[in-house]
Structure 1
Amino acid sequence: MFTVSNLSPSQSSMSEIYAPVQDFPRIPDNLTVPQFLLDVDHPARPNPPSVGVPWLIDDTSGRTFGKEELRARTHALANSLWTKYNIRDGDVVLIFSRNHCDYPVAIWAVHRIGGVISGANPDFTVDELTYQLEATKATFMFVYSDTQAIGTAVAAARRVNIPPSRIVLFGPASELSPESATIDALAREGLISKDTFVERRLAPGEGKTKLAFLSFSSGTTGKPKAVAIPHFALIANVIQLAVHNKINEAYTTWEDRRFRPGDICIGVLPFYHIYGLVINLHFILFASMSIVVIPRFNFVGMLNSIAKHRITHLMLVPPQVVLLCKHPAMATADIGSVRFIMVGAAPLTYEVTEQLIRIFPDAHIGQAYGMTETCTATTMWPIEHKRGAFGSGGQLMPGIVARVEKQDGTLAGFDEPGHLVIKTPSVALGYADNEAATKETFVDRWVRTGDEVRIDSNKEVWVLDRLKEIMKVRGFQVAPAELEGCLLDHPDVSDACVVGIPDDFSGEVPMAFVVPAPESAKRMEADKKAAAQIKASIVQHVADNKVKYKHLAGGVEFIDIIPKNPSGKLLRRVLRDKARHLQKSRAMAKL
């Protein structure tokens, strides 16, 4: 159904930087994700795992789900999907949902049959969801049971000819989609029905090519693209994380070990995002820990969850960390159980890092670096250190090979800046049905990250700048080209360029430089109020058509011409510098 470029092994003889630890257990290449997690043992996994430790804990009700219950529920749902909906090997199922205890069950049930999962942001607009449905060729949806999600899903499904009966709901049934069954009902039915489905078994080596996920990323440029992730990639990254963190080794005292069976991790990162999917969900379960599943992030609610469930491990993104440092509710928060904080998706500032350490003086605190294209983490702070070095994305993880390419094409040495290019066993296959974009990012199984870094002699990676165009807003990727396309649909816009500007809470936010349409320019000349009205209309246009984190929080600036090179490419860096200068000028004016 999907095509990706055939990536052959690298033939280059260029020097490379290897991770400090290279010896790690074999990565099984004949297992699906649920077979690896639910059915087999592995040398990197804690053995024996803590008896009686729940895998999932529902934040609201406190209900717990153990491994065997989840395994049985997965089997039952797979049975119903096969029998009632004729889902077969290779079919794509889209999950449009907030975190839910049945979210992994839905993933694993589809994988048992041989299907492919694509997770989507439940705050998407109808247009955004339609785009992902069309790009993945999905024929079936699991949808969160709230009014907004169901309404959006039904409208998008109508556009791509998915009948309402092929929408299945997390949680209770809804009058908004009366033909939709619920996962709970299907699981109960599947448990008492005769087994009819045929579980997908992989031949040796097939795990490296058998699709598991179509997870969306904007790559280094352009609109969001479906990253084709095979089963082997997720399994490989889980094992890399396990070995790097020595989760099955008594390398220090029990009290000071980073991950311990029976610890409790917060599950507030969205499972549709690669960070939440691989590290917060699959790795934590592999480590024999519990996950408190939280559907929607609310900071005060998160503090209550930490106290209620005695959560030990926080996996967060920078905006959430900023709240830990600045929110007034912290004055009375019961956070004494927290002993580990991992931050990913974007860098932390020095000031925030210092504040976090003061608030949690005894906790393990650090950052990791990764991409959807590498099926998440490629670096994490060294296991020998309780704290990651400020500004460091972490140490290269086991199995990782890196190059740092200078502008002249030669390879940088230690502590020299350049473009980071990564090779990892967890690499994706490429972008589905997008050969041009695949060739731009995936070169002979190396991934061109689009980030400027330096690597020191300890194999730690320090991210210096983003060479790629993509912005990171609250940990989410935002493609300027996508917003520019939306802006050009506005009648007052003749040309546009979107850049990211720094923001203390979100990391960065989108700002638009707009060339007004000729008639609009005349209106602004004739009426001083027109400029503000047009700006407000442009901002509202984006808000009406895009998910919240893509809104123009940085505002709109009018400009006479968008700078471009002779070939017509936007000189985005020029306007990024201009935007930051404007931002500083505004800040000075407020003093």
Structure 2
Amino acid sequence: MAVFKGPQDLPFVPDDLTVPQFILDTHHPCKPVVVRGDIPCLIDDATGRQIGAEEIRARTYGLANGMHARWSIREDDVICIFSPNHVDYPVAMWAILRLGATVTGANPAYSAEELVYQLKLTGAKLLLVHPTCLPTALEAARIAKFSPVYMALIEPADVAVSLPTVPDLIEDGLSRPPSFNERHLHPGEAKTKVAYLILSSGTTGKPKAVRLSHYAVIANTVQSAVHMDISPNYASDENKRFRVGDVMLGLPPFYHIFGLITVLHFSVFVGMPLVVIPKYSFIEMLKSIERYQINHLLVVPPQIVLLCKHPAVKNYNLKSIRTVMSGAAPLASETIIALAQVLPHAAIGQGYGMTEATGISFARIDKHVDTSGSSGRLVPGVVARVVKSDGSLAGYGEPGHLIISSPSLASGYLDNEEATKETFVDGWLHTGDEVIINEEGEVFVIDRIKELIKVKGFQVAPAELEGHLLEHPDVADVCVVGVPDDYSGEVPLAFIVPSISAAKRIKSNPDESEKVKAAIVKHVADTKVHYKRLAGGIEFIDAIPKNPSGKLLRRFLRERAKTLRVKGKTPRPSTVKAAL
């Protein structure tokens, strides 16, 4: 088998529209007609304020007009949004795009140095800042010699410096004659004009700025709508999984590809109100689900694990949940099985994507619970090749490196031709992920090729061991890495956050630590082949380092494991050989 494709054809994708024109101003065959006037686009989680499509259009126009009048934003200027999720976040993005400029979203948890890096990398001219992020933004501006004259607050606040606010700019823009001519694209131009500069996860080296065109965003929105069986006339069909007026949880950050495209753009496009949550708290998330009767959860694996294990879950009514889709990082099949027991009424699956490709596969809607270990089916328009280690093309069920073509691919990395040429080759994206694709087009992500542990020549996927370890009652969270070994090349070591009960036992009796470790090692040895056993040992840790999207930052724990190895705190070769 040379190539794999999704089961459906992709309909027409316009190549002469900007993102806000497609989302707010035009109709598409995949877009449902919202006939109920009481269906908002956005809901503010804290206040319950509802914002409809007409208000979004007005605020978007007003902000674009106000920003242009104040700063003379020009074609291809880059504007950075440094804010948690906010109901005016999409307004700001779409206003920037109406001006022909480019958006780059910054992680609100960034330090000043990290923000400086993004500002310099993208060449940002203007900074829109949430008040909670202002101290960091001001320090970054000082370091980068970025004038506060080119800063504005997302919302009013009592702060030490006098800055315009987005509501002020909107009011000003709506009160004055048009000061700009909205950008209209020529046929085909949407494929080349950059809408978003999104920083990659940066799990190796410094993050790169991914160039995402208007066409790529529009294409993936259409791909999602077709895959999810969205159609203009489905509102009367109660058997449909996704319906106009369904409520989605807007928790994944909007500066990240998952929250930006799969959550924000998709929900507004298909007429499903999005409850915008600025800051994650698991208990507050449960309250929001109950308060707003959330139907669709698009979350990341750590939140799934808490849904399975946190004792507070039983205190909330979660029966409104119709679907749960996990994204941004692999979710172990054992965790999906556990979640199905907690939410038996909900359809459960996961999706798979990358900043460089947006969505690649999504949970199947013809199954209540996706095939164990699956990341869903390839979305329409994606063509995939799976290349084996010898360079030949894999067939169904054979593992190899995933290489894809899709209309939603990024156009490369900003000012980094070397990395662009390595990753984007003749229109194909080299994902760096090892996968298996079966005859139904389902994708099974084994692991990042660079993260696979090689034990005596055998490949060990950390995600597989992590999913199994999370089944143990003494394990709250885990990350598995490989440590160098003279005998086996590498062996698996597990960094484990003990459960609350295990931590209490260990604190009251230090000898309990070794007993807990032994029980966990046995848990793996009883069910896994010899080369997958934890011959590198177990290290207890307070928290697993992760980026905001939920991806494990293995590089930090690899370095820590190397330090432990040097200090002789991991098993030596003779011990390992005996264990194997």
> Aligning the two structures, in what range does the TM-score lie when normalised by the shorter sequence?
0.7 to 0.9
1:238 match: 221
1:566 match: none
Q: Distance in 2 between matches of 1:232 and 1:579?
A: 52
- Consecutive unaligned residues of structure 1, counting only runs of 5 or more, are 1-13, 472-498, 514-538, 563-577
2:419 match: 437
1:254 to partner: Cα distance: 2.8
1:26 match: 12
Whether the aligned pair in 2 keeps the contact of 1:219 and 1:441 (CA below 8 Å) is: no
Q: Distance in 2 between matches of 1:511 and 1:174?
A: 49
2:377 match: 395
Distance 1:554-1:262 versus aligned 2 partners, 3 A rule: same
Q: Distance in 2 between matches of 1:21 and 1:286?
A: 20
| DSSP-derived class of the 1:255 partner | coil
| DSSP-derived class of the 2:432 partner | strand
2:154 aligned residue (170, 186, 207):
170
2:349 match: 366
Whether the aligned pair in 2 keeps the contact of 1:45 and 1:287 (CA below 8 Å) is: yes
1:483 match: none
Matched, 1:326 2:309: yes
1:182 to partner: Cα distance: 0.9
2:52 aligned residue (66, 75, 81):
66
2:560 aligned residue (556, 561, 579):
556
Q: Distance in 1 between matches of 2:448 and 2:288?
A: 35
Matched, 1:308 2:312: no
Distance 1:220-1:159 versus aligned 2 partners, 3 A rule: closer
Equivalent position amino acid for 1:98 in 2: P
Equivalent position amino acid for 2:306 in 1: L
1:469 to partner: Cα distance: 5.3
Q: Distance in 1 between matches of 2:148 and 2:73?
A: 16
2:518 match: none
2:330 match: 347
Q: Distance in 1 between matches of 2:481 and 2:168?
A: 43
Whether the aligned pair in 2 keeps the contact of 1:511 and 1:556 (CA below 8 Å) is: no
Distance 1:229-1:49 versus aligned 2 partners, 3 A rule: farther
Q: Distance in 2 between matches of 1:456 and 1:547?
A: 27
Q: Distance in 1 between matches of 2:444 and 2:570?
A: 23
1:286 to partner: Cα distance: 0.8
Q: Distance in 1 between matches of 2:570 and 2:407?
A: 38
1:175 to partner: Cα distance: 2.2
2:41 match: 55
Whether the aligned pair in 2 keeps the contact of 1:220 and 1:469 (CA below 8 Å) is: no
1:128 match: 114
1:15 to partner: Cα distance: 2.8
Equivalent position amino acid for 1:350 in 2: S
Residues 121-166 of structure 1: per-residue CA shift (max 9 Å, x gap): 10011111111111101111111111xx111111112222221121
1:255 to partner: Cα distance: 3.0
Using the size of structure 1 for normalisation, the TM-score is 0.78
Whether the aligned pair in 2 keeps the contact of 1:221 and 1:470 (CA below 8 Å) is: no
1:345 to partner: Cα distance: 1.4
Distance 1:53-1:249 versus aligned 2 partners, 3 A rule: closer
| DSSP-derived class of the 1:403 partner | strand
Whether the aligned pair in 1 keeps the contact of 2:33 and 2:232 (CA below 8 Å) is: no
Distance 1:434-1:310 versus aligned 2 partners, 3 A rule: same
1:259 match: 242
1:78 to partner: Cα distance: 0.1
1:327 to partner: Cα distance: 0.9
Whether the aligned pair in 2 keeps the contact of 1:512 and 1:556 (CA below 8 Å) is: no
Matched, 1:204 2:175: no
Distance 1:506-1:144 versus aligned 2 partners, 3 A rule: farther
Matched, 1:412 2:394: yes
1:49 to partner: Cα distance: 4.7
Whether the aligned pair in 2 keeps the contact of 1:510 and 1:552 (CA below 8 Å) is: no
Equivalent position amino acid for 1:254 in 2: D
- Consecutive unaligned residues of structure 2, counting only runs of 5 or more, are 454-461, 471-475, 485-540
Larger deviation: 132-141 or 101-110? Answer: 132-141
Distance 1:180-1:54 versus aligned 2 partners, 3 A rule: same
Q: Distance in 1 between matches of 2:562 and 2:212?
A: 41
1:203 to partner: Cα distance: 0.4
2:281 aligned residue (284, 292, 298):
298
Equivalent position amino acid for 1:79 in 2: N
1:465 to partner: Cα distance: 2.2
2:365 match: 383
Equivalent position amino acid for 1:508 in 2: C
Matched, 1:183 2:154: no
1:534 match: none
- 1:439-458 correspondence runs (5 A): 439-458=421-440
Whether the aligned pair in 2 keeps the contact of 1:509 and 1:554 (CA below 8 Å) is: no
| DSSP-derived class of the 1:107 partner | helix
Whether the aligned pair in 1 keeps the contact of 2:253 and 2:549 (CA below 8 Å) is: no
Number of residue pairs matched by the alignment: 497
Distance 1:395-1:92 versus aligned 2 partners, 3 A rule: same
Whether the aligned pair in 1 keeps the contact of 2:382 and 2:406 (CA below 8 Å) is: yes
Residues 28-83 of structure 1: per-residue CA shift (max 9 Å, x gap): 00000000001000000112454320000000111110000010000000001100
Residues 483-513 of structure 1: per-residue CA shift (max 9 Å, x gap): xxxxxxxxxxxxxxxx999585666388999
Whether the aligned pair in 2 keeps the contact of 1:121 and 1:272 (CA below 8 Å) is: yes
Equivalent position amino acid for 1:351 in 2: E
Identity of aligned residues (%): 46
2:509 match: none
Whether the aligned pair in 2 keeps the contact of 1:221 and 1:468 (CA below 8 Å) is: no
Q: CA RMSD in A?
A: 3.2
| DSSP-derived class of the 2:356 partner | helix
Q: Distance in 1 between matches of 2:30 and 2:438?
A: 28
1:18 to partner: Cα distance: 2.0
Whether the aligned pair in 1 keeps the contact of 2:198 and 2:209 (CA below 8 Å) is: yes
Distance 1:355-1:143 versus aligned 2 partners, 3 A rule: same
Q: Distance in 1 between matches of 2:129 and 2:409?
A: 29
1:159 match: 143
Matched, 1:508 2:479: yes
Q: Distance in 2 between matches of 1:296 and 1:53?
A: 24
Larger deviation: 186-195 or 416-425? Answer: 186-195
Distance 1:253-1:111 versus aligned 2 partners, 3 A rule: closer
